[in-house]
Amino acid sequence: MTEHFPVLILLVPLFGALIVVLLGKERPNQCWMTSLISLGISSIISLFTVVAVLADKFQTIRYRMGGWPESNGYEVGIELRVDILAALVVFAVTFVGFVNTIYSKTRAETEVQGKVSFFYALIQLLIVGLCGIVMTNDAFNLYVLIEITSLTSYALIAMGNRRAALSSFNYVIMGTIGASFYLLGVGYLYIKTGTLNIDDIRMVLGNNNLWEHQSIIVAFIFIMLGLWTKMAFFPLHGWLPNAYAYAPSMTGTFMAPLMTKVMVYVMIRVMVWLFGNEFVYSGQHVWGELVIWMSVIAIVAGSLLALARTDIKKMLTYLIVAEVGYMVGGAWLGNVTGQAGAFYHILSDAAMTFCLFIAASIIVLRVGDSRVNAFDNLFRKMPLTMIGFTVGALSMIGLPPTCGFFSKWYLISGGIEAGQWEYVCALIFSSLVNAVIFFRIFERAYFGQITEVKEDFVPFDSDANPETAIKEVPWSMLFPLFIASGFVLLVGIMNRTLFEWIQTALKMVNT
């Protein structure tokens, strides 16, 4: 049974999407229930996959789609490959999808009225695509899956408000260019090696010692540029802020934590498994130092751009740009600590971005205004929401015991180990800017506008005056927020275990 887990994770939401389309737009509740069940099953299977990989001493699960046997030692068909890293990311994707579906319950019916079934079908397809990207061991299949996720996300974003269509179009252009770059790189590799399986490409490259061949270097650069565009690595981030901010809120809450993170995962995969550490980090190429500096610029620019925004969702999207800089920089530091730190940050950033986006969506929904200036007295009006928001915000700032602190700890350790002080400084700078950004909101939300008259502070008391009366959202929205903030803390407290798993997996490939 265990060996079929990878494909089941994909098949369940795929069929779920079909059923949802068949149910049609007249039955929004059944659509919701179907996708809830399918994603629930999928996330349970992916949790079992994590357990299975751990129980098997980090043994990689391999699955040949369609049962194509290998010929002459090369894979012919498409292979799925799940190690602990893939299993963790797949669990993150499916679980966020599941929790986000709970959140979508009430939102979908108002925000994408009349298109509810399409929404649920597309979001399940998106999850299939993302899980496929993480698990596939075939470079071309990876491209196909990237396109699947892109196409579904274009549609999902375009369902949003008036400005969403244009943002989605922007995304289409940038996304297509990025994907084409990736495809070009894969093309070079195919010409040179005659295979598309990632492990086989690596083997052929190694056996024939093609590392210094110009086309391989060009292929690497193309693939990196393509992936950077897809993950919104500064200065290729232009499409992201508008797309995520104007998308329907439940689309934004799903895509913001996951899309860029999965692309970072693909980048680490390509660097470590496809090309290998010796090639990527060898001193012969100028790119090592260059990419670190680019990530420094990404972190600084992302933080400053976020600081300049007063719209909370825009602000959060620029923070994602900065966080992508963290991960790219960490992955390129050239040591296992940095790589593992970057990978740990994938998980922790997914948790905290999810948390913050849900909280921000709830706040915007209730306040009716996305500008920070309108957030007076939110701690009194929506205490539960603000608790969730605070947990996410403290994690972004990087205060213990949230996961943001530990990912910063590991990334800074990696930076110190590599002697890349500019990267360490950039991380600290971004923490400080995040502190300013969020305490600005806290001050507003806690103390409100400057007034003369004050009564005794009475927390959790609804019979205060109507200005500060509690106006929480329904539990279908609060519950996901609490799960997300719970995960922010859980990933933080479990950091030692997770980091050990990640390090083990990364060391296995290096030896």
Q: Which residues form the interface with another protein (CB under 8 A)?
A: 398-401, 406, 408-409, 412-413, 416-417, 424, 428, 431-432, 435-436, 439, 443, 446-447, 450-451, 454-459, 493, 495-496, 499-500
Residue 392's H or E segment, with its range, is helix 383-397
Percent of the chain as helix, strand, coil, to the nearest 5:
75, 5, 20
| Min dist. Cβ of residue 456 to another protein (A) | 6
| Nearest distance from C-beta of residue 396 to another protein, angstroms | 13
Region of 72 (left: φ > 0; alpha: ψ -120 to 50; beta: rest) is: left
Q: Are 420 and 292 in contact (CB under 8 A)?
A: yes
Radius of gyration, CA atoms only, the chain: 22
Question: Could you give the 3-state DSSP secondary structure of residue 311?
Answer: strand
Tokens of 54: 């751990």
Smallest distance from another protein to CB 432, Å: 6
Closest distance of CB 489 from another protein, Å: 12
- Nearer residue to another protein within complex by CB, 232 or 488: 488
Q: How far is the CB of 437 from another protein (least distance, A)?
A: 12
Contact (Cβ atoms closer than 8 angstroms) between residue 327 and residue 264: yes
Q: Give 181 or 405: the residue with its C-beta nearer to another protein.
A: 405
Pick 313 or 380: Cβ nearer another protein: 380
Minimum CB distance to another protein smaller for 68 or for 439:
439
Q: Closest approach of Cβ 490 to another protein, in Å?
A: 13
Handedness of CA 503, 506, 509, 511 (dihedral sign): negative
What is the spatial distance between Cα 104 and Cα 357, in angstroms, rounded to a whole number?
13
377-382 CB contacts, 8 Å cutoff, 24+ apart: 377/445, 377/448, 377/467, 377/468, 378/444, 378/445, 379/445, 379/446, 380/459, 380/464, 380/468, 380/470, 381/468, 381/469, 381/470, 381/471, 382/470, 382/471, 382/472, 382/473
What is the nearest approach in angstroms of another protein to the Cβ of residue 496? 6
Do 188 and 219 contact (CB within 8 A), yes or no? yes
Task: Kindly write down the DSSP assignment for every residue of 214-257, as one continuous string.
Answer: HHHHHHHHHHHHHHHHHHT-TTS-TTHHHHHHHS-HHHHHHHHH
Cβ proximity to another protein: between 458 and 508 the closer is: 458
Q: What is the 3-state secondary structure (H, E, C) of 429-479?
A: HHHHHHHHHHHHHHHHHHHCCCCCCCCCCCCCCCCCCHHHCCCCCCHHHHH
Nearer to another protein, 304 or 493 (CB): 493
**Contact status, residue 19 vs residue 33, Cβ threshold 8 Å:** no
Taking the least distance from each CB to another protein, the nearer of 68 and 421 is 421
Phi, psi of 191 (to 5 degrees): -60, -40
Q: Give the residue with the Cβ less far from another protein, 447 or 479.
A: 447
- Judged by CB, which is closer to another protein: 49, or 495? 495
Indicate the helix (H) or strand (E) that contains 199. helix 198-207
**Nearest distance in Å: CB 307, another protein:** 13
Q: Which is nearer to another protein, 432 or 469 (CB)?
A: 432
Q: How far is the CB of 498 from another protein (least distance, A)?
A: 12
Q: How far is the CB of 446 from another protein (least distance, A)?
A: 7
